[in-house]
Amino acid sequence: MSLSIARVAAITLTAILASGCVSKSSLPAITQTNDAATVTIYRSDELQGSLTDVYIGWDDEYFISLAPQQHTQLLVNPGYKTFKIRAHADWSNELALDLTPQQEICLIAEVNPQNVVELNWVVSGYRLRQLPCESLTL
């Protein structure tokens, strides 16, 4: 069933008003640099959502933003982290990871395929997915 333009506009406006703005915080200090986990995050280059940055963080704060085809590498204190991703007019999605000392993990930030298809072009939703680091070409 097709959504009308008015319905898509109403849903979009509601999403924008409900989600508010995203603000970035400073990265948390690394307490033990020898034990820090290395987290590489790559942003895919899908056409959907290509006009907006995504914001990524953990423990209820956002620390970085990525445009399409950008990547970053972060040192993160070991322990249980709930990574979050969202855009300005998006609900956050989460990926829970238990980081061990000196662990290297790779994540990809991509458009969430479970989003409402037609609404996805206006308000893209994102997800984080863990991949083997060897599969990423930076």
Please tell me the distance from the alpha carbon of residue 86 to that of residue 76, in angstroms, as a whole number. Answer: 20
- Torsion sign over Cα 77, 131, 134, 69: negative
- Side-chain-facing half-sphere of 27: CA atoms under 13 Å: 12
Neighbour count for residue 111 (Cβ, 10 Å): 19
Q: pLDDT value at position 112?
A: 80
Please give the distance of CA 109 from its chain centroid, rounded to a whole number.
5
Please give the distance of CA 131 from its chain centroid, rounded to a whole number.
14
Query: pTM (2 decimals)?
Result: 0.74
What is the Cα gyration radius of the chain? 16
Q: pLDDT value at position 64?
A: 92
Q: pLDDT value at position 128?
A: 93
Q: pLDDT value at position 90?
A: 72
Q: Report H helices in 54-137.
A: 117-120
Q: pLDDT value at position 9?
A: 53
Please tell me the distance from the alpha carbon of residue 53 to that of residue 55, in angstroms, as a whole number. Answer: 7
Regions of the chain where pLDDT drops below 70? 1-26, 47-50, 89, 115-124, 136-138
Tell me the CA end-to-end span of the chain in Å, nearest whole number.
Answer: 39
